[in-house]
Structure formats: structure tokens, C-alpha cells
Structure 1
Amino acid sequence: MITIKEQKVIQEQFKERLSEDDLLNCMRCGFCLPTCPTYIESGYQEAHSPRGRLAIMKAVADGLIEPDEDVERSLNMCLGCRACEPVCPSGVNYGHLLEDVRDIINQNKKHSLPVRTVRKVVFDGLFPYKNRMQSLTGLIGFYQRSGLQTIVHTTGMLKLLPDSLSSMEKVLPAIPTKKEMKNRPTHLLAHVETKKRVAFFSGCLMDTMFMKTNDATLKLLQLAGCEIIIPSEQACCGALHGHSGEKNTAKKLAKQNITAFESLEADYIITNAGGCGAFLIDYDHLLKDEPEWVERAKKFTAKLKDISSILVDLQFHKKVHLHLPHQVITYQDSCHLRNVMKTSSDPRTLIKAIGNIEYREMKNADSCCGSAGIYNIVESEMSMKILDSKMKATKQTEAKTIVTANPGCLLQMKLGIEREGLTDKVRAVHIADLLLEASLQTSSD
């Protein structure tokens, strides 16, 4: 519960910190409404639309309403997919406003002891430290390999968990050993003539839980003619912190990453996770109030490029023969890759270049799948409504393979497959894994 004293402080900071121009630029035209999953799935409630949330922010800043639990609920219900931004004729920076208001509320609201403890452990004690991430995911790997997972499934212990969490446990990827996670490369040469010198942002979950996808990404870059540097000093991108009202920690991580990459003299900084890439490319906004960092941040963001974009730029799909057994394939956009990094055609170009497959576009492939970081855990009911709609669209394509470009999307689509009972008929894969599979398929033919 937000106390009256806390409400007054929050209200003052809304007025001080929120961009008045962005709040006033919203023309209430409603172009954003058809793009907003929470507006649609809530039964068209205005408070759960971008336009409605902007009106709420403005009303709080103007002192017309109190920042109470209803206000916080509306803001927390937002996925942060930013699908409203590309269609906004006024160019309102909705995502930046959302992060600011969440940070204001979080920093000025007294959480309960259990909530404070969890946030402290996760945001400050876990994600900023690569070795701790390796230890945690290593424990999950031990659980998978030791036979404990089989026992848990056999005894029905998963039934003690909420349905979404028990289903999520079933779709986790096979976790590498802690030794494998620690033995990571820092420099790789191209497999063909070197065309570009690139730096690779390996991420935290991507280099632990999804390490095999990172390995696939590196191999694709080598096949495309890239020399690769992977700085060991890099850290978590800070997206989880920035989206959850922990901006100070996000800024610390941003500075660590900028420092780790800026002396490498790389042509590009490559990412393979839409959510990470979108937060990285906003570092200049994150650090806008720190003159000694903002220019360094701009140089950093100018070099960012998604794996699909550099592969298309280097004509990978024309120089490497790609082939797979016949199957229908569809693609689910990563919201942040599409809406923030402005990358949507490149993944499709690469998929369509694979021989012997049939590509079918999914209806509303550009709408959110409901993952949104930890949204599918903290807002499970709404997330599952969105996922159910997404799975209806997926089944209409009759696809056997669903391709994604973000780890959260990948797990969410796997969760949808599990919920629909399609585990033996449909798979979800990251685009890097699919492309490497297609290139290896060629070499084995």
C-alpha cells in the first residue's frame, strides 16, 4: 500500500522528472489502441492502453489524481512492448516515460520485507555478477542431469506450483555444466576471409541458460567472415533493472558495458537477444543526465547491430547454402527487436533463404507474446491470455517450427506449445540455432 506521504513525494517527482513535451504530445488519437495487447485482452479498458496510461501519468503530474494502487496497477499491467511507439503520429517516447514512472514509484514506495529481500537478492546480488549467474544456472543444470527432475515429474510435485511455473519448468533448455559456462572464448577468428571485426555482447542468461544459442551465434559470425572479440569485463545489460524501477543499478551496468567495449575498435557490437539489444541501444537516454557518459554512450549505441542484420549485410544467406527437411516455418517478432531496434525484415529474409522449407507469416506476428521479461511470472493471468491468442494465430499457420529472436519469447512460445499439448508436433527455436542447423544440414547432405 502506498501511504499518503509516499504519494506526495511520488507526485512531485512525476512533475519534476517526466518529459512534459512527451505527455503533451499525446493527441489521444487512439492509433496506439489496436497495437496494445493489454488493452485488447482486458476488454478494451482505457486504463490498460498506452493512451490511458499517458493520461494517468499527466493527471498525477498535474495533481489531479493521487498515485495510488490503481495507478500502480495500470502501470504494472503494461508489457513494455513499445508497439505503440511506431504507430504514434506524435512520436511519444512511451517506453522512456514508463521506465521513469516505475522507477519513481519503486524508489519512493516502502515494499514489504519479503519483497525488499527478493528484489535485493535478484537485482543487486544476482544479475550483476556473472559468477553467481553461473552458479545458479549450474544448480538448475544439476537438477536436470542428476535425476531429480525425473523424480519431481514422476511424483507429481510440480502440481504444488502455479500452472504457469510448472509448465515453465518443463520447457527450460538443457543447461550446460558450470565448467562449460566458465570456459568461454574471448577471441575467435573468421572461418573465411575476414570482412568485419565485431564485438559480441554475450549477456547473462544468454551465456548461461542459453549458452548453446550464443555458441551458434558465434559460429554464424565466423561463417559470415567476422573476427570476434568477446570482452570478459562485460556485464548484464540492465534491462530487467531498468524495466522494474531499479535505474541506478541499470546505470552502473551500462557504464561497465560501455567501458568494456569502447576500446576494442570493433566495427559493430553484435547482440542476439531483442530485449538486451533494445535496452543497450537506449544507453544514451539512460545516461542522458550524466555529461561525462552520454557521448560515450552514443558511440556505444551507434555500433549496435542484431545478429540477423549483420548476416544480411554480409550476404550470409547468399554465400552459405542453407537447407532443411521440408517443414512449414513461421516467425514471432521480438517486440523490442522490432519496435526499438527497428529490425523486422532481416530475420524473415534469412528464414526465407533456407531451401526446402515453406515460410508462412503469422497473423499479428508483430504483437507481443506475453513474455516481457518476468511479466509472465508476476502478471501470469494476463500473460497467459495474450499467449493463448498468440497460439491461435500460430496454429492457423500450421507451422511445425516457430522461430524467435529473444530468449524470453522462445520460452514463452515453448510454454504455449506445452499448454496446447503440441510438444511432439511443434517446436520453437532461436533464429541463430535454426540457421546453424540449416548450414550443418547442408554440409551433411
Structure 2
Amino acid sequence: MTTIKEQEKIQEQFKERMDEDELLNCMRCGFCLPTCPTYIESGFKESQSPRGRIALMKAVVDGLIEPDAEFERSLELCLGCRACEPVCPSGVNYGHLLEDARDIINQNKQHSLPARVVRKTVFQGLFPHPNRMRGAVGLLGFYQRSGIQTLARKIGFLGLLPDSLATMEKILPKVPTMKEMKNRPDYLPAIAEKVHRVAFFSGCLMDTMFLKTNDATMKLLQLAGCEVVIPESQVCCGALHGHSGEKQTAKELAKKNIIAFEELDVDFIITNAGGCGAFLVDYDHLLQDDPEWKGRAKTFAEKVKDISEVLVAVDFHKKVKMELPPQVITYQDSCHLRNVMKTAAAPRVLLQAIAGVKYKEMVDADRCCGSAGIYNIVESEMSMVMLDYKMKQAKETHATTIVTANPGCLLQMQLGIEREGLSSKIRGVHIVDLLAQAVKQD
């Protein structure tokens, strides 16, 4: 809870830093309301809608209300899915307003000691440092391979954890070895006739916990005729920081990535994680107030593409034969891939091109699954409500394979499958891994 003095600082910063023109762009029309999961799940509470949150931000700027605990709670419960943006007739950049508001609050309040320790460890000590990320994930791998995991489950230790975390432990992917995580390529030639030279943004969790998906991504790019460059000096995209009120660190990471990629002479910068990609394409906004970096950030952002867009653009689905055993598949949109990167059709085109499968569209496939970065950990109750709704829609498709395009979404859907007791009947899979399984090479 913020003190009176902290609230005064926050209010002052809101007046100085919040984009009042953007706040005024909201016409209060309500087109955003049916798209907002928290508005729906809160029983249509106005303060849990994009329109309501913008009104609260404006009221703080105008000094009509104080940035108290209730105000802060309204912002905390927002998923940041940005589903409100595509339907907004005024084009309000709600996501940017939310990030600025959270950053102002975070930088002007005194967190509890445990919270300060966790935030410093995660945001400063871990994610910005690739070697430390590998080390941390390596510890998870040791836990899985050493027998400790089996013992912990056998003696019931996991029962001490909240239900959602205990279930989440069951669905974590098998972690690669430290040798595999360190032995990464920096260049791969095109296998088919060369059509593009691209750079691959490998990410932090993607190049550790989901390393096999990254390997599959690079293989698909090679088969599509792409020469692939993987700069070793790249770092975390900064999305987790930007969404959690650590904007300065996000800017520092963005600058490091721009430096790592800008001299490579590539056509595109490829991502395979919707959350990372959406933050990368927003680098120009993130650095808009920095004259030295604004132009460089814009050049960088304009090259960022999701792998599905590039594969469709080069007619991968027409040139490369893909086939799988008979199965029904459905697709769960990554919110940021769809709402920020504007990529919705390409994944579906690729999935429907796989021979042997039947594609079934899920009702509300574009509605957030409740993962939202670390939302499913810090706001578990609301997250599970959203996941239950998502699983209801998924089950009605009778799909045996649920496909996603973001690691957080993938873990969330696998969590839903486990919670429903359907792990023997349904699987969750990243679209890249499914396409790699389907590719038939002569």
C-alpha cells in the first residue's frame, strides 16, 4: 500500500509523464468492453475495463482522485493483452498508457523487503544476463534429471505449493543440458534456394527452456530459403521489465539489442514468441524520447517479423510438403502476436496446409488464456478463471492438439490440459514444433 507522500509523488509524475493527448483520445464509446477479459470476468465492472482504467488515469492526472490502493489494484489486474486496441475507433494505444502508469507507480512506491529482493533478483540479476539465465534453467534441469523431482513428487512436497504452481511443475518442458544451451550456432546457411538473409531473435527463455523450439525455428527458416544469422550479443527483449514497471531496464536492453542487430544487413529479424515480438516492434515507442536512439529503434522495429508471416510470404506451405497422422487441431492466438504484431491469418494458413489434419477454429480463440507473462503466477485466481473458459472452448472443438505461438500461452494451455485431466488425450504444442514434425524431407 502506498503512503500519502508516495501518492503525491505518483500524482506529480502522472501529470508530467502521462500522454494526455492519448488519454483524451478515448471517446468512452465502449467498443473495448466486449474484448476485455477482466471486464467480463469481474462482472462488467467499469474499473476493470480499458475505458474505465483510462478514465482513472485521467482522473489522477487532473487531481480528481488519488492514486490509492484501489487505483493501483485496477491496473494490476489488467492482463495487458491489448485486445482493446484493434477495436478502438480512435486508435488509443492503451498498452503504452498502461506501461507508463505501472512504471510511474513502481518507481515511486516503497515495495516490501521480500518484493524488493524478488524484483531485483529477477529484473536486474537474472533476465538481463544470458549466462545467468542458462545457469538458472540449468538448475531446473538438474532438478529434473537428478531424481530430486521424482523424490519431491513421491514424498508429497509439491502439496505444499498452491494448486496452480504444483500443477505447473508437472507441465514444465524437459530442460536441455548446459552443454546444449551453450553450444548455439551463430550462422546457418539456407538449405533451399536462398530468398532472404534474416537474423533470428533467440530470446532468453526460448533459447534455454524452449531450446528445441528455437532449433526447429531455425530449421524451418533454412528450409524456406533463409540464410540465418544469430548474433551472440543479443539479450532479453525487455518485455517482462516493460510490463512490470521497470521501463529503464527495458530501455537498456533495447539499446543492446539494437546494437547487436543493426549492422547485420538482414531483410528481417525473426521471432517465434508473440510476447517478445510485440515488445520488439514497440522499441521505437520505448525510445521515442531519446534523439540518439529513436531512428535506430524505428529501423530495428520495422524489420521484426513473426516466423509464420515470413513462411507464408515465401510460400513455404506450398513448396514444402507437410503431413501428420490424422488428428483435429485448433489454434489459440497469442494476444500480443495478434493485437500488436497484427499476425492472425498466417498461423492458420500454415496449419490448414498440413495434410492429414482437420483444423477446427476455437470460439474466442483471440481471447486471452490468462498467461500474460507472469500474470498466472501473481494473479493466479483470475488467471485460472480465464483458463477454465479457454479450456471449455478448446474441448468443444474436440481437438487432440492445441497449437499456440508463444511460450507463456503454451505452458498455460498445457496447464489447462493437466487441470482437466486430459493429458492422455490432448497435447499443447508450439506451432513451430508442429510444423517441424509435419515437414517431409526427401
The question of a shared fold, defined as TM-score above 0.5 by the shorter chain, is answered with: yes
Amino acid at match of 2:233: E
Please tell me whether residue 105 in structure 1 is matched to residue 112 in structure 2: no
Counterpart residue number, 1:44? 44
Counterpart amino acid of residue 188 in structure 2: L
Distance 2:10 2:290 in 1: 23
**Secondary structure of 1:125's partner?**
helix
Aligned to 1:307: 307
Aligned-residue offset at 1:146: 1.1
Aligned residue number for residue 258 of structure 1: 258
**1:329-340 → structure 2 map (5 Å cutoff):** 329-340=329-340
1:65 match: secondary structure: coil
Deviation readout 1:327-384 (Å, 9 max, x if unpaired):
0000000000000000000000000000010000000000100000000000000000
Confirm or deny that 1:139 pairs with 2:139.
Answer: yes
Aligned letter for 2:33?
Answer: L
For residue 424 of structure 1, what is the aligned residue in structure 2? 424
Count of residues in correspondence between the two structures: 442
Task: Indicate yes or no: 2:145 matched with 1:159.
Answer: no
| CA displacement at 1:270 relative to structure 2 | 0.2
Q: Which runs of 5+ in 2 are unaligned?
A: none
Q: What SS is found at the alignment partner of 2:132?
A: helix
Paired residue type of 1:326 = P
Shift of 1:25: 1.2
SS of the equivalent of 2:402 reads strand
Shift in Å, 1:238: 0.1
Aligned position for 1:295: 295
Aligned residue number for residue 278 of structure 1 = 278
Look up the match of 2:396.
Answer: 396
**Whole-angstrom CA distance in 2 between matches of 1:31 and 1:315:** 36
Q: How does 1:318-329 map to 2 (within 5 A)?
A: 318-329=318-329
1:236-289 per-residue CA deviation (whole Å, 9 max, x = no partner) reads 000000000000000000000000000000010000000000000000000001
Secondary structure at the aligned position of 1:327 is classed as strand
1:115-171 per-residue CA deviation (whole Å, 9 max, x = no partner) reads: 111100100000000000000000101111111111111111111000111111100
Q: What amino acid sits opposite 2:162 in the alignment?
A: P
Give yes or no for the alignment of 1:184 onto 2:184. yes
The one-letter code matched in structure 1 to 2:402 is I
Paired amino acid for 2:169 = E
Matching of residues 165-204 of structure 1 within 5 Å? 165-204=165-204
Matched residue, 1:343 = 343
Write the distance in 1 (CA, Å) between the matches of 2:190 and 2:146. 37
Percent of aligned positions that are identical: 73
Shift in Å at residue 27 of structure 1? 1.0
- C-alpha separation between the residues in 1 aligned to 2:383 and 2:356? 35
Task: Name the CA distance, whole Å, in 1 between partners of 2:237 and 2:430.
Answer: 19
TM-fit CA distance, 1:443: 4.1
CA shift digits 1:199-224 (9 cap, x unpaired)? 00000000000000000000000000
- Counterpart of 1:435? 435
| SS of residue in 2 equivalent to 1:356 | strand
Q: CA deviation at 1:13?
A: 1.0
Task: Kindly provide the CA deviation profile for residues 30-60 of structure 1, in whole angstroms up to 9, marking residues without a partner as x.
Answer: 1101100111111111111101101110111
Hey, what does 1:412 align to over in structure 2? 412
SS, match of residue 372 in structure 2: coil
Distance in structure 1 (CA, Å) of the matches to 2:423 and 2:396:
17
1:363 counterpart SS class:
coil
The match for 2:23 is 23
Partner of residue 91, structure 1: 91
Distance 1:297 1:68 in 2: 35
Q: Which amino acid aligns with 1:350?
A: L
What is the aligned partner in structure 2 of residue 379 from structure 1?
A: 379
Structure 1, unmatched stretches of 5+, are none
TM-score by length of 2: 0.99
- Aligned Cα RMSD in Å? 0.7
Q: Secondary structure of the residue that 2:326 maps to in structure 1?
A: coil
Bigger drift between 235-244 and 190-199 goes to 190-199
Aligned twin of 1:235: 235
Matches of 2:422 and 2:300 in 1, distance apart?
42
